[in-house]
Structure 1
Amino acid sequence: MLTRFAFLCIAWLGLAGWAAAAEIAAPKGPVILTVSGKIANRNAPEGATFDAAMLEALPRRTTTASTPWYPQKTQFEGPLGAALLDLVGASGTVLKVTALNDYAVEIPLADLRKWPVILATKINGKPISVREKGPIFVIYPFDEDSSLYNELYFGRSAWQVKTIEVR
């Protein structure tokens, strides 16, 4: 029995090591997101770079929510933040999220593990333009957990995201 347990532990550690060393393909289109900092997996000197197609290929979610930015419930779709963190092998505790206009906010990495936070790339089924808060908008599941519907989490919901630094 101990031998079988030891084998399973060794196999699990081997798989965990393989996942930590995941290959990230190079973007084929324009880079819309760069993840840097405490990450294990990179595809560029500055960190892990992603084009729209690469983000579309990650595990996704659709969240329909009331927000202070739109007059009615809005449907947001995009990759799960946790899936992105897993792919890059994030090991920090805080994410510094920076927008195209250099606005920056810190988001506890734990938020993306606790809730299904998405990096929305679509609103109501259409890609989000820069004019409409795109190409990436951090969205919490506001309507699924009433404790999220407040200024703290609205402030963490950065839009026009261009970089994420794992600290």
Structure 2
Amino acid sequence: MKRIFSTVLVLGLAGIGTGQFARAETATENSPVTAQLQQTVLEAQFGEDTDQAPVQLSLADLQNLPRSGFRTTTIWTEGEQHFEGVWLKDLIDHLGFEDGIVELSALNEYMIEIDTAEIADSEALVAYMRNGELMSVRDKGPLWLVFPYDSDPKFRTETTYAHSIWQLDRIVHLK
């Protein structure tokens, strides 16, 4: 699989969250934030045994799904963080990924696999905002799979930390 998409994404989103854009809530129809919201940030691919074409999702597409969030600390950041995004289970349902395995990959080719049966109870959030602002590639964005680490010791394990993929850019349904 070619990774040209990732290179374009890195170049196109390098400015998000670096201070040159206002908060997403203040976006107007012709603002730079609105343009950034329309750029593809996540590609969803379907199993090889299907003819379904990949789906390109923008931040605006993700924001149109049920929004959620939580506050937690992480081992990668200082202090409590407020994450907002879409539950992974809602994204999986939206894409129509049923039983099987999903592979999530990052801009740097880091990949994880999760059984869809485990996703419903995972409390995994595909975060697109941290502390009220869109995340730049430099700041682990534009998408970061996070968990409510402070809410339960089960989220403070090596497995959960390994699943906390940042710079998420692709999700593939592996049957």
TM-score range normalised by the length of the shorter chain: 0.7 to 0.9
Cα separation, partners in 2 of 1:65 and 1:111, compared to 1, 3 Å: farther
Task: Give the stretch that moved more between structures: 98-107 or 51-60.
Answer: 98-107
Q: Secondary structure at the match of 1:121?
A: strand
Give the Å deviation of 1:101. Answer: 1.3
- 1:55-106 per-position Cα deviation (integer Å, ceiling 9, x unaligned): 0111111121121101212111101111111111112322211101111111
CA RMSD of aligned residues (A): 2.0
CA distance in 2, matches of 1:157, 1:60: 19
CA distance in 1, matches of 2:117, 2:77: 27
Structure 2: state its 5+ residue gaps: 1-36
Q: Which of the residues 139, 144, 149 maps onto 1:137?
A: 144
CA distance in 1, matches of 2:161, 2:118: 13
Q: Which runs of 4+ in 1 moved over 2 A?
A: 107-112
Identity of aligned residues (%): 28
Contact kept, 8 Å, 2:98 with 2:116, in 1: the verdict is no
In structure 2, what is the equivalent of residue 32 of structure 1? 41
Contact kept, 8 Å, 2:99 with 2:117, in 1: the verdict is no
- Count of residues in correspondence between the two structures: 136
CA distance in 2, matches of 1:81, 1:127: 18
AA partner of residue 30 (structure 1)? Q
Give the Å deviation of 1:38. Answer: 4.1
CA distance in 2, matches of 1:33, 1:105: 15
CA distance in 1, matches of 2:85, 2:141: 11
CA distance in 2, matches of 1:74, 1:108: 27
Q: Secondary structure at the match of 1:111?
A: helix
Normalization by structure 2: what TM-score?
0.72
In structure 2, what is the equivalent of residue 76 of structure 1? 83
